[in-house]
Amino acid sequence: MKQFWAIAASLVLALIMLVPPAFAGDADKGSQIFSNNCAACHMGGGNVVNAAKTLKLDDLTANGKDSVAAIQTQVTNGNGAMPAFGGRLTDQEIEDVATYVLAQAESGW
């Protein structure tokens, strides 16, 4: 019986490790927010202002923006040519759009 529980625990642990991490934000809502506020400059994950700072995973990683938290900070505070959306979007909307951006980046836009 101990062997059964050991195997069962191992299988549960293996399944947990195979499940991708869940993001707290809602990517579906983030998609609409992105379309309404971000797509003009970031259509398809690009960047019409600075081609070196796209929303593609390689560029997000290179610029230290490859987490929901880092993207939230960028969206909230802006930086360089990007305006701040804190005050224009709620914290939840910013989290949703950050979740969407990271999910899109991870899937290759």
At residue 14 the predicted structure's pLDDT band, cuts being 50, 70 and 90, is low
Q: What pLDDT does residue 103 have?
A: 98
Q: What pLDDT does residue 4 have?
A: 55
Q: What pLDDT does residue 1 have?
A: 66
Residue 33 lies in a domain: yes
Report pTM: 0.79
Q: What pLDDT does residue 24 have?
A: 75
Residue 15 lies in a domain: no
Residue 6 lies in a domain: no
Residue 5 lies in a domain: no
pLDDT digits (tens, 9 = 90+) for 45-84: 999 999 999 999 999 999 999 999 999 999 999 999 999 9
Residue 55 lies in a domain: yes
- Per residue, what are the HEC states of the chain? CHHHHHHHHHHHHHHHHHCCCCCCCCHHHHHHHHHHHCHHHHHHHCCCCCCCCCCCHHHHHHCCCCCHHHHHHHHHHCECCECCCECCECHHHHHHHHHHHHHHHHCCC
> With contact defined as beta carbons under 8 Å apart, do 84 and 94 qualify?
no
At residue 11 the predicted structure's pLDDT band, cuts being 50, 70 and 90, is low
Structural domain boundaries enclosing 50: 23-106
Q: Per the structure, how many domains does the chain have?
A: 1
The CATH number assigned to the domain holding 96 equals 1.10.760.10
What's the rounded Cα separation, in Å, for the pair 31 and 67? 17
Q: What pLDDT does residue 16 have?
A: 54
pLDDT digits (tens, 9 = 90+) for 18-35: 544 555 799 999 999 999
Residue 42 lies in a domain: yes
Residue 90 lies in a domain: yes
